[in-house]
Structure formats: structure tokens, C-alpha cells
Structure 1
């Protein structure tokens, strides 16, 4: 199995917050990619590399970034032997390819013909999350169907449904549909879906089909990876693995909250997410 970490975003919300802060306490965050921000003892993305490596669930980790941050990611990756960096060649948010196109580019560039774990580079999970459990659940899914894919979900609050993709599932935890940012009244489900997907190798060719269908669509329809997941659900068997929650580093306040937790409350660094 391979891992692809999506890190080609420009962190516009976070950078806007940093620029607006007058205290000077967060000036060191200016112009830095979110996945490379220090979270506790190391960069946010390093938590993933340590966990993916320790769990043994993948044999290579691919990180796709942009031309603006490519040098910084290359310097960071020098400490690891199983990480490869790819640039999408864009230099601004207006030029961005979108997450789905970045995933497709990574698959083609590295000729990936294996199952793929796709991870959002600005996301971490709570301490009860285990890559080992995910690997076992994916194996169980593939017993049901060799084309089976796996998503994560956690319970969100009523007022949070409008912020996330919400999954509706059957009694076997197979996903029936994903509703994008619905009103609480539009679905009984409160299953939020973070950017962590396990795609079977047979699913990867569908990236081309999706992007061909969306070639004239606005970038927003190709940017959020959940749009591909929503499109995939009627076409392949997709199941859910339940987790308790996540850290989503979107703006300055969420970054500060995440960093503080990892500095003061993380119980066991060596086993985190393994």
C-alpha cells in the first residue's frame, strides 16, 4: 500500500489570520506551508510519516505540494528515506490544480498501481485513531469486494453539518451517499467525513474519468477531494470506519488549539496513530 499526502494548498485562511494578528507572537508562521508547521514535538506532517512508518501499513509516502513550498518540503523530507516529494508546478492559490487533480498527478508521476491511503496534509486525529485498525478494516472490506474502499467518519454536532461532507450509511456501514454541507434538517446523519481515504487500486483509473467529466467545471468542483468521493460512492463499494474526532488546522485559532494539545496533552508520542 502507498500513501499520498495532499499538501499543495496555500493556507489562505491561516495566512490571512497571521497577517491580521498584531501581537507579533505568530509572525514566524507567515509564509509557511500548513503541513510543515510545528505541532508539538515536530511538523504536523511528520506525525503522519512517523505513524505510517511505524505501523508498516505503507511502503512509500508521496507528498504533493506546489512550486512555492517545494524547496521547504524537499528540505524537510531529507530526514526520511521513504518520502518522495512532487510539485504541482503552481505558485499561487489562483493557479491551484485542486486536490483531485493533484492526486491524479501523483498517481501518474510515480506510476502507482497499488492501494492508496490519501491524507489531507492539514489534518490529524485523536489519540484513539489507529492505522493498524484501518489496515485491518480495509482488509475486511476487500473480503466483501476487491474494489472496496474505506472512509473515516466521526459524529459532529447538529450545527456543524453545514461545514462538512456528511455520510449516510446502511446497517453494514456501507456508504449510501455523501451530502455536501447539508442543513441539519436535510439529513438524520451526523457522520462527518475527514480527508482520509483508502482507495483500492482498481479505483485509481476512475480519477481520469471524474476529471474528464469535470474538465469544464469550476475549480471548486475539482478542489475538494470529497467531491470525488461523493462521485465514487454510486460506482464502487465504499465503507466506513468510525473514529472519535480530528484536528483540522484551517485557521490560526485551530492551529493554536492543535499545537497546544500536542505540547501539553498528548499521552504517548511513540504510539500516536500507529
Structure 2
């Protein structure tokens, strides 16, 4: 299995913090960055044979410098999608397709957003994927209506099959939030180009599984752990204070 970290965004809501520094490389726990914590989650997964990080031309050098300091055991490669401005970005699904075409991947694929801090390990998620042998989305219960309106929202049956999935709904059909951790079987990957060719939205990563679930069976995996996306300078300051104080050791 290959892990693909999506890190080609420009995080304009965090300016000026992210004007010259990509969001995944912001320090959140001492000198440890969001990316460091995420890589730590991947390092312990035996299934992962390589980690790919796709970024843009503006931040390619910054990720290269980070890579030079990397001391883990997993092979990591940094890929440049060639974009240089928010207006020209490929979008999350566009970046996945860029990587698929460039690397000609023939492996199962774990896709992760590069700007999330996870309060749980991924071992259970991967074990579930191997057990049910289906494409998987990761979900958790969300009580806040405004948060639900900012993520994907799913409806599931008793067997955790996805019955519906809607990205950023104004009227959520459930309290089941879908977050940016997806596992796709290698046989599913060619469908991403079909989705884009049919005019699918290339931006948010949940748009593809929203399209996919009505064409083939997809399962969901529940987590009760936290998933923090640093979306504003205030949220970033709060996270640094919390992680620095050791209040969220599960995220370390």
C-alpha cells in the first residue's frame, strides 16, 4: 500500500502564517510540525511501503528541506504538481490523478490530508480495509451543525455500507462526518480519471467517494478519535497551546 499525503494547498485563510510556509510544516508541538505528527502515524504501519507527498511549485523547496531532516525508515518522495498560485491549483482530486498518471501506481492507496492532526492511530482502519476488501472512508460522529456543513456527511446501513454521501451539505442528513482519510483498492484508481472526464469537481477530496459509492460498494470505518484541521490563526494558536501542554498525547 502507498500512502499519499495531499499538501498542495495554499491555506490562504491562515495568511500571513502560510504565505511562505506550507500549512503542513507549521510547528504544532515544540518544533514538531503537522507533517511530522502525520508521518509518525504512518511510520508504524507495516503495510505502507512508500509515502508520497504531493505539493505545489511554491512550496516544493520547503518540503525538500524538511525531507533532508527526515530520519524515519519509510521511503518518502516529494512530488511537484507544477502549480504556483491558488487560482491555478489542481484541487485535491486533481492532485491524486496527477500522482496516478506520473507514478503509474498499481498499489492500494491510502489518501490523507496533509494539514490534519490525528488523535488516533491508523492500524485499526487498515485492518478493517483488509477484512472487508472494499474501498473505505473514515467517519466520526459530529454534533456541531456548522462542522457538519464543512465536511462530507454520510448515511450508512447496519453493515457500514455507504448509502449516501454529500460534501458540505447545508441540510445534513445525518451526524456522520466524513474526513479526509480514504483507502482505495488498486482496481478503483482508474475510476478517478473517469470521474474527472465526466466533469467531476476536482477540489475537495470527498467529491470522488460521493460519486463512487453509487457505482460500487463502499464501506465506512468509525473512529472516536479527534481530527483537528487548523483553519484559522486562532485555531492554530489554540492547538499549539494544547499540544505543547501535553493535553493531547494521543496526537503525538
Please indicate, yes or no, whether the TM-score normalized by the shorter chain is above 0.5.
Answer: yes
Measured in 1, the distance between the counterparts of 2:81 and 2:125 equals 29
1:39 corresponds to 2:28: yes
Matched residue count: 245
Q: Which runs of structure 2 are paired with 1:1-274 in the superposition (5 Å)? A: 1-15=1-15, 18=16, 30-41=19-30, 42-80=32-70, 82-126=75-119, 129-142=120-133, 148-160=134-146, 161-184=148-171, 187=173, 189-214=174-199, 221-244=201-224, 245-264=226-245, 265-267=247-249, 272=252
- Alpha-carbon separation, structure 1, partners of 2:93 and 2:19: 27
Q: Residue deviations 1:120-140, cap 9 Å, x none?
A: 0111222xx221111111111
Are the equivalent residues in 1 in contact too, given 2:129–2:136 (CA < 8 A)?
yes
Equivalent position SS for 1:202: coil
**Which structure dedicates a bigger proportion of its chain to helix?**
1
For the residue of structure 2 that corresponds to 1:94, the secondary structure is helix
* Partner of residue 21, structure 1: none
For structure 1, the 5+ residue unaligned runs are 19-27, 143-147
Larger-Rg structure: 1
The answer for unaligned runs of 5 or more in structure 2 is none
Cα distance in 1, alignment partners of residues 54 and 185 from structure 2: 20
